[in-house]
Each structure stands twice: as C-alpha cells, then as structure tokens.
Amino acid sequence: MKITIRFFASLKEALKTDQIDEDIPNQVITIGDLRIYLSKKDSVWAESLAPHKNIRAAQNLEMVTMEEPIQERAEIAFFPPVTGG
C-alpha cells in the first residue's frame, strides 16, 4: 500500500526529512505498526520513533491513535506534542 508520511518539528530535524512516500508491506496495518516499521530503518529512526517517546499522529489531517488502521493512499503525519505559550 502506498502512503505519504510527513514529519514535523524535532522529528523533521532528527530524521533530516519532512516527507517520504512509502510502499508499506501488508503486515503494517495500524499507525503503531507503521511507527515500528519505520523505526527499523536505522539507529536514528529507531531513537526518534522509540516507543518511550511521546509522539502524536494524524491521518489525512485528523488526529488518530496508534491503533488506528491505515487507509489506502493516506497521508500520515508524526509530530511531538505541541505546547502553546
């Protein structure tokens, strides 16, 4: 399944990219599965997307949980929690 994945704020800086297009395997079903899949790219990705990190996700511009199923041709965004001031 082809999807677009966007990264914001500190994730964008750490991963040195703001967007990738990815053809994910069939076993990557949820947003959480995608996070694990991406964390296997290398050590920088593993540290940036580690399970202990507080990371939020959106699918097609709507906030979702890590349990949310990925939709065909979705745009998934990962970002750290946002605080105002």
Residue 57, class by beta-carbon neighbours within 10 Å (0-12 exposed, 13-18 middle, 19+ buried)?
A: buried
pLDDT of residue 81: 85
Mark the ranges of the chain whose per-residue pLDDT is less than 50. none
pLDDT for 27-43, tens place per residue?
A: 999 999 999 999 999 99
Other beta carbons less than 10 A from residue 11's beta carbon: 20
pLDDT of residue 26: 96
pLDDT of residue 57: 97
79: part of which helix (H) or strand (E)? Answer: strand 75-79
Q: Report the CATH architecture of 2-79.
A: Roll (3.10)
pLDDT of residue 18: 97
